[in-house]
Amino acid sequence: MTRICIVGHICVDATPALGGPAHLDAGRLVEIGPLALTLGGCVANTARTLSALGTPARIHASVGDDDLGRVAQGLVDRIPGATGRLEVRPGRTTSYSVVIEQPGEDRVFWHHVGANAEFTGADLALEGVDLVHIGYPSLLPALLADDAAPLAELLERARRHGATTSVDLAVVDPRTAVGALDWDRILDRVAPLIDVITPSADDLTSALHRDAVEDDAALAALAEDLIRRGAGIAAVSGGSLGVHLATAPVARLREGGRVLAPLAERWAAVSVFRPATQIARPLTTNGAGDASTAGVLHALIHGADPAEALDIAARAAAAVLTGGGAQDPDGRDAASPGIENPGTGAPTPQADGRAPIVLPGNRPAARFYRGGARIAAFRGEGEAEPHTPEDWIGSVTCVRGEDGVGRTRLPDGRLLVDALAADPVTWLGPEHVARWGADPKLLVKLLDAGQRLPVHAHPDGAFAGAHVGTSHGKAEAWHILTPGVVHLGLRQDLSLPRLEALVAAQDPDALLALLHEVPVRPGDRVFVPPGTLHAIGEGVLLAEVQEPEDLSILLEWRDFALDGLRDGHLGLGFDLALRAVDRGALSADDLGRLIRRRDDPAGLPVDADPFFRLEERIVDGRDELAQGFAVVIVTDGAVQVGGASWPRGTAALVPHAAGAVIAHGRGTLLVCRPPLP
């Protein structure tokens, strides 16, 4: 999956519900409706629409060290699929806008620039980023200093990293210092560095002091002017008129970075107009332009054609105008679930349990061991946050002691656990529900051992139910994705006092010496029964299927960022917790029974059948996955499912009601399922 970084203007929008014309009469009390406090600005609006389209994005923007800045970060954290921490500027206030929306009129903004005044993007990390989108430079004064030299430097730096560059503008107030700038000179300077530019006609005419646009011919002239100045693609929106897209010759597009260059021949030297989707009673215009831009970017990274890109952009804007729930004139839902996937004509599925759902990364922060870079590379997510070595996929489970952390949130904003409870048969199937109710009996993870994991074990269901109060124990199995070493099972019997002494001594070498050391290669599968001592060696990336609990008994913690005396025994004390550990030796035959090598076509060892199922499928042209609830991970190649492209690193949730899943292409799928009912 291509990684997009959305950079630039962010603010908190405070929008009062007026219900009629705004009044500013001195001394008058005017009754209004409730206040909506939302995250606004290009960064938030664009990231939200990309998330709704199934394209995750990283955010880079600045806020102040005030209460509003903390509100802004909390609102960022609620955007599904969005990653990145807002940069806090000491001593600055957070940007905000009071948005006045009067019926039948365009918005009025009372705006405070705040921390955005200092934003230059100089500290933006670009490693692994394939597309950089810079939003609203006209509201970021520091970017425009010295005839926009900082903006030019940011664009040049992105291009040196091979990233495709994108810029969206904002309306310029001629009475301000920004309005007094020479925008002809600025655009001549930066346009050759911009691969995709998506302004509105009002953005351009206000900056360049030109007449308002009244028809498509004037829209086209603005787009062609940007191409003449050196831009690669120019999509100029005209509100109710529509969008006009113009592109440069093929040689210019071949210079357009990792996203645009491969599309150069298909996108070169075109001029396309797409009328706006007419909405009879728009509920809001706030963010519609950013949604249109997000549609274009989403289309580009998925390889759509220009006309398809404009169609997606128009539908994305319509979704905002209708508030996400109205239908367009064709009778289709204009909200994000009804926006069509590029190149397919197939609608992006709703999170209603009736179609596969591609899931963004879900990586709990600040875990006690290092890792995360291999997951980021596998998932196409660019750089990793520190200590994020696990991606929890299709999760109804919380990190132990951290309420809510780790659970999967669906594209419509609901938690998966709530969706299952509301409609378990649709998601899990009638036979599963008849036996286990809304319990999926499954948790899937990607795990990157940036350091060797500590020696530990997990309790079985009987012990966990009796002493911890959970519904499951924790059996697990690994599908190896990168080579390395794992440690599994005791080589000799151990007495309980000896085990207690080893824990007290905190001697990692002595503990490891007691376990079997097993070299593993990509495609190997390892079943780890409850109670079995184990550790994963440094450098191993694997997919893990397990019972849906977070229960670990840690025998070592000396070299890890945790307090084992407090957190290593499930709150039971080691005298009780260690009784859940299997202290019997694992013979060579027993060890062999737990491992399936990559050249063995069978799935997991039969011992895993009561807990979960794991199957590797090789797609060479066409393959059909049987109906049933599953988590699917593309471990190699790429496939098409329902018209959507699933490249390597894709993780998808497949509800029972989706029926049999047909995959086309050439790739390898890891299919994880609960046990048979």
DSSP 623-637: EEEPSS-EEEEEEEE
> 650 and 602 share a domain?
no
Work out whether strand 484-490 and strand 443-448 pair parallel, antiparallel, or are unpaired. Answer: unpaired
Residue 280 clears pLDDT 60, i.e. is over it: no
> 502 and 629 share a domain?
no
> 402 and 523 share a domain?
yes
Q: Give the DSSP H/E element, type plus range, for residue 313.
A: helix 306-321
> 490 and 380 share a domain?
yes
Q: Does 406 map to a domain?
A: yes
Q: Does 286 map to a domain?
A: no
Instruction: State the residue range of the domain holding 109.
Output: 1-119
Instruction: Please give the pLDDT value at position 128.
Output: 81
Lowest mean pLDDT among 46-60, 96-110, 460-474: 96-110
CA–CA gap between residue 499 and residue 506 (Å, rounded)? 11
Q: Does 34 map to a domain?
A: yes
> 659 and 575 share a domain?
no
> 543 and 663 share a domain?
no
Residue 355 clears pLDDT 50, i.e. is over it: yes
What pLDDT digit, counting tens, does each position of 525-552 carry?
999 999 999 999 999 999 999 999 999 9
Q: Write down the pTM of the prediction.
A: 0.55
Burial of 230 from C-beta contacts in 10 A (0-12 / 13-18 / 19+): middle
> 541 and 630 share a domain?
no
Last residue within a domain, chosen from 119, 134, 149: 119
Last residue within a domain, chosen from 119, 137, 166: 119
Q: What confidence tier does 279 reach under pLDDT thresholds 50, 70, 90?
A: low
Q: Does 583 map to a domain?
A: yes
What pLDDT digit, counting tens, does each position of 409-423 carry?
998 788 999 999 999
Last residue within a domain, chosen from 551, 582, 607: 607
> 554 and 631 share a domain?
no
Q: Which of 458, 323, 484, 352 is nearest to 411 (CA)?
A: 352
Tokens describing residue 402: 């951290």
Q: What is the CATH number for 627?
A: 2.60.120.10
> 659 and 525 share a domain?
no
Residue 374 clears pLDDT 90, i.e. is over it: yes
Q: Does 576 map to a domain?
A: yes
How many domains does the chain divide into? 3
The alpha-helical segments, DSSP class H, found in 547-675 are 564-567, 574-577, 588-593
Buried b (16+ CB within 10 A) or exposed e, 477-506: bbbbbeebbbbbbbeeebeeeebeebbeee
Q: Does 288 map to a domain?
A: no
Q: What is the CATH number for 15?
A: 3.40.1190.20
> 428 and 559 share a domain?
yes
> 572 and 628 share a domain?
no
Q: Does 667 map to a domain?
A: yes
Residue 2 clears pLDDT 50, i.e. is over it: no
> 586 and 636 share a domain?
no
Q: What confidence tier does 16 reach under pLDDT thresholds 50, 70, 90?
A: confident
CA–CA gap between residue 52 and residue 298 (Å, rounded)? 10
Q: Does 224 map to a domain?
A: no
